[in-house]
Amino acid sequence: MYGWCGQRLRVDLSNGTITKEPLSYEYRRKWIGGRGMNSEVIYREVLPHLDPFDPVARVCFGVGPISGTAAPASGRVTVSCKSPLTGGFGDSNMGGHWGAELKYAGYDQIIIQGKARKPVYLWIDDDKVEIRDASHLWGKFPREADAMIKQELGDEDIHIVVIGPAGEHLVRFASTFNDVYRAAGRTGHGAVLGSKNLKAIAVRGSGTVKIARPKEFFDICNRLRQRFKTDPMRKFLYEIGSLSLINVANHDGWLSVNNFKQGAHPEAWRMSGEEHSKTVLKHREGCFACPICCGRFTEIKEGKYAGEYGGGPEYEHSVPTGPRVGVFDPNAIWHNMILTNNYGMDGIETGGVIATAMEWYEKGLITSKDTGGLELEWGNQEVVEKLITMIALREGFGDVLADGASRAADRLGLGDEGQKYTIATRGMTLPGDDPRGLGFAYGVGFAIGTRGGCDHLRCLASLELSGFMYPGLNTKILGDERPVKPVTTVGKGYCCFYEENQKAMVDCLNVCCFTTHWSYAVLTADQVEYFNAVTGMDITEEEFMEIGERIVNLERAYWARMLSGKREDTIPERFQKEPMPKTVEGQTNIGAVFPVERILPGYYKYRDYDPETGFPSERRLKMLGLEYVAKDLEPLRQKYNTEAEKKKKKYYY
């Protein structure tokens, strides 16, 4: 067999059984790997109304047929579950080296189910798989647990997935880490692993990935690597990292400041990638087979936090616990990032929930009586720092926020007024990108993202973000160069459809989207080429994109089964009704609002979503080989539009 290992591992922690399940040719061709296979399992095995913390719930780790090869940035791994944050479909992916190691150990996927009686970790050493005691690891930070497991197993070169204390405390947005610093951040699978008492998965593999047409494959890889040498986005990402976006975001007014009340701030340059590189950048490090190497490490050199060290920063981690909560001191932002990583939490949701609470406080919806005496004022770093720990350990007011912004609003009895400031859709707060400036296609992605409404990485319509660096690319794919302009409605519906399908495939191959969507060095045709060369298949570009479409529809159907559809395809009122204020000189999007309703109907047509419910149509589902899904949705189409259902306000599930 080429590309795939052809088997997955199923571990039931309740009874300790470990089974290896073969993956047929048809199955592999239909779902490819990574996100595709994971989504298939979650749809089929995790019923939509199951409590995500029920032992029956699953967590899947999936890699693709390209994982572990020389294809650019082919080391990612997708983690999927029913999200305890949103209650809907959830997944996230991470770089590092663990994904490649899992392939070398001989597995395309791991399914975790059940619940161990006490803390355990999984040790996969090629064919030998065992469940080991992890009582001594419970409560440890990822870096501590990683070091202890390596020492225990006597091998510094193994790769380990681990959760932090936040996962153990069932913080609904706890993350999963590998190689200590590479996080699968969103949707809370770290908490689901915590609910199962699974602290870590250590892997050592001694196998290889068989390539069907090696010469052809290495020729493609060489060609692509040459392309990266002159790629404009690669230069930015290597030299400045994803924080290269800070100055751009500040200029174009899409930086999340004070919970999106502003899109820019005169002090934001202090946390830019340029400044970080000059001051606290310790070193750079790439993930497996990466030609970009955007990863950075930080050592704080002065002030209160001097001596602290950690992986990062990334734009999406640093903005929510920085500008979004009104903090602009760079060392404080790096400290918040290190602290959040130590506890093993999603930086976006952590900052999002604190920012939301700050706005509730500002609007008088909560007072210091609710917060245990904390004064939640914008930019109060002392409080932000304190709250990060309180959330991770579920202490005091932190316990309320540990359930995520939307659930916290309900726990505090704040009603619709409280929900208005959560700046979330389908129960997950938005990342640090304001669609009034970043772009309308990104904004549509926030409304329709299949891992929760909020999503900067699902639709990933980067043709409007970095497309200007690739003149002619928008025309090549979309037929027009105008969609490269962020705040226009022209061409955005099709842009979302194309990019969403394409991104689904990138997540099935488990290559890094920085090589395919931020940078456009690797286009769809290249991906089809290396997929075919590795696997020996001969699928067409059309089939390739259709698989992406299948996965998007399956995930969409998961939400539809929970009666989440057209009415929930929206974005927070702030973006639709509040014109972007001017806060810096030269800001390009002053007065902008985001007319999401003008783009969605067009997008629905490409998807063939039912215009009444927003559910995938029976016709399209059958075309995609999802007859069983069409059957599942059949009785729900009418139910969704009953008067009783229309009255329900669904902020999470």
Q: Catalog residues that contact another protein under the rule CB under 8 A.
A: 472, 475-481, 489-494, 497-498, 501, 524, 541-542, 545-546, 549, 598-599, 602, 605-606
Smallest gap, in angstroms, from Cβ of residue 292 to another protein? 24
Smallest gap, in angstroms, from Cβ of residue 398 to another protein? 45
Question: What are the C-alpha distances in Å from 310 to residues 280, 305, 313, 331, 392?
Answer: 11, 12, 9, 12, 18
Which of 243, 545 has the CB closer to another protein?
A: 545
Name the residue type at position 9. Answer: L
- Distance CA(253)–CA(589), nearest Å, equals 6
Which of 409, 599 has the CB closer to another protein?
A: 599
Which of 58, 607 has the CB closer to another protein?
A: 607
Which of 433, 500 has the CB closer to another protein?
A: 500
Treating both helix axes as pointing N-terminal to C-terminal, what angle do 627-640 and 541-561 enclose, rounded to 10 degrees?
40
- Distance CA(104)–CA(575), nearest Å, equals 46
Smallest gap, in angstroms, from Cβ of residue 430 to another protein? 24
Smallest gap, in angstroms, from Cβ of residue 310 to another protein? 41
Beta strands in 226-329 (DSSP E): 281-285, 295-299, 309-311
Q: Whose structure tokens read 């540990």? A: 402
Smallest gap, in angstroms, from Cβ of residue 542 to another protein? 5
Smallest gap, in angstroms, from Cβ of residue 170 to another protein? 41
Smallest gap, in angstroms, from Cβ of residue 415 to another protein? 37
Which of 265, 517 has the CB closer to another protein?
A: 517
Closest CA to 149 of 185, 124, 171: 124
Buried/exposed code over 129-148 (b: 16+ C-beta within 10 A; e: otherwise): bebeebeebeebbbbebbeb
**Residue 132 bridge partners (DSSP):** 121
DSSP H helices, 536-617, are: 541-561, 573-577, 596-607
Which of 293, 473 has the CB closer to another protein?
A: 473
Residue 295, helix vs strand vs coil: strand
Which of 243, 441 has the CB closer to another protein?
A: 441
Which of 137, 528 has the CB closer to another protein?
A: 528
Which of 217, 498 has the CB closer to another protein?
A: 498
User: Vertex 523, ends 522 and 525: CA angle to 5°?
Assistant: 120
**Number of residues written out for the chain:** 653
Smallest gap, in angstroms, from Cβ of residue 482 to another protein? 8
**Structure token digits, residue 562:** 């929970």
Cβ contact 489:440 at 8 Å = yes
Which of 392, 465 has the CB closer to another protein?
A: 465
Smallest gap, in angstroms, from Cβ of residue 465 to another protein? 18
Closest CA to 460 of 479, 483, 443: 443
Which of 120, 495 has the CB closer to another protein?
A: 495
Cβ contact 568:251 at 8 Å = no
* Complete edge-to-edge strand list for the sheet that includes strand 17-22: 17-22, 7-12, 109-113, 59-62, 77-82, 89-94
Smallest gap, in angstroms, from Cβ of residue 150 to another protein? 45
What does residue 384 show for φ and ψ, rounded to 5 degrees? -60, -50
Which of 463, 636 has the CB closer to another protein?
A: 463
- Distance CA(452)–CA(85), nearest Å, equals 9
Which of 241, 491 has the CB closer to another protein?
A: 491
Q: Which residues make Cβ contacts (< 8 Å) with residue 75, sequence separation at least 6?
A: 67, 68, 95, 96, 97, 98, 99, 100, 287, 288, 289, 290, 510, 512
Smallest gap, in angstroms, from Cβ of residue 82 to another protein? 29
**Residue 109 bridge partners (DSSP):** 8, 62
Closest CA to 313 of 272, 371, 353: 272
Smallest gap, in angstroms, from Cβ of residue 237 to another protein? 25
Side-chain-side CA neighbours of 563 within 13 Å: the count stands at 17
What does residue 628 show for φ and ψ, rounded to 5 degrees? -65, -30
Q: Whose structure tokens read 């790769």? A: 159
- Distance CA(127)–CA(130), nearest Å, equals 10
- Distance CA(378)–CA(376), nearest Å, equals 7
Smallest gap, in angstroms, from Cβ of residue 571 to another protein? 18
Smallest gap, in angstroms, from Cβ of residue 549 to another protein? 7
Smallest gap, in angstroms, from Cβ of residue 31 to another protein? 18
Which of 382, 480 has the CB closer to another protein?
A: 480
Which of 274, 481 has the CB closer to another protein?
A: 481
Smallest gap, in angstroms, from Cβ of residue 458 to another protein? 18
- Distance CA(644)–CA(188), nearest Å, equals 30
- Distance CA(196)–CA(56), nearest Å, equals 10
Which of 414, 441 has the CB closer to another protein?
A: 441
